[in-house]
Amino acid sequence: MSRGNLFVVSGPSGVGKGTIVSRVIDEMPDAVLSISATTRSPREGEVNGVDYLFLDRADFEDRVAHDGFLEWAEYAGNLYGTPLDFVRDEIAAGKQVILEIEVQGALQVKEKMPEAKLVFIEPPSMDELARRLSGRGTESAEQVERRLEVAKVEMNRKEEYDKLLVNDSLDAAVAELEGYIAAESAE
Ligand code: 5GP
């Protein structure tokens, strides 16, 4: 059995990290994605237990109080957290566990598990990010503005990551992330 590892992928909202990560999960047999809990409302088409575990604030806070999360953070007014049991069990089973989480949570993971590998996905430019974020049409104009403000703060912390990757071409970004996971898990 290969050794299990933890990979944490962050990057500004709209950068395409969800698309990149789901391709990696489809293409790498021993890679698994952690499903986060959130207090955000489901977007159209999102399924409870598949995209997220959708919780109300009281349930979320109860899990925080019972140490149910590896990390958690507030992002653009909602709470998001990584259930601890799944991550622990899958690493023990020799899987390459991927978290797709924002920056504050990623840095908490690095503190608790210094062996975790942190990957930051950057947009080709902030203008391009703004175009992608408004183009996908899942957020109101006000929420897009809020996410762009958060993105600027997140970009300032990218140097704290182990690996930087620019999402210019989707295929190239997927290949680069797969190559990184393969190399790090072979060590
Ligand atoms: P969205 O609302 O677009 O699904 O996610 C907003 C942000 O929360 C994204 O940057 C996403 O990566 C991050 N996120 C999702 N799940 C978690 C989590 O479990 N913990 C943390 N810290 N961030 C998360």
H or E segment and range at residue 161: none
* Cβ(34) – ligand 1 distance below 6 Å: no
Q: What is the per-residue pLDDT across 108-166, written as a single tens digit (0 to 9) for each?
A: 999 999 999 999 999 999 999 999 988 888 888 898 899 999 999 999 999 999 999 99
* Cβ(39) – ligand 1 distance below 6 Å: no
Q: What is the rounded CA–CA span in Å between residue 120 and residue 9? A: 6
pLDDT at 186: 86
Q: Which residues contact 174 (CB under 8 A, 6 or more apart)?
A: 20, 23, 24, 27
Residue closest to 6 by CA, chosen among 187, 160, 185: 185
* Cβ(154) – ligand 1 distance below 6 Å: no
Which residue has the least CA distance to atom 21 on ligand 1?
101
Q: What is the per-residue pLDDT across 24-61, written as a single tens digit (0 to 9) for each?
A: 999 999 999 999 999 999 999 999 999 999 999 999 99
Query: Cβ-count burial of 143 within 10 angstroms (0-12 exposed, 13-18 middle, 19+ buried)?
Result: middle
Say what the pTM is: 0.94
Q: What is the rounded CA–CA span in Å between residue 131 and residue 135? A: 6
Mutate to test the pocket of ligand 1, among 19, 36, 69 (most ligand atoms within 8 A of CB): 36
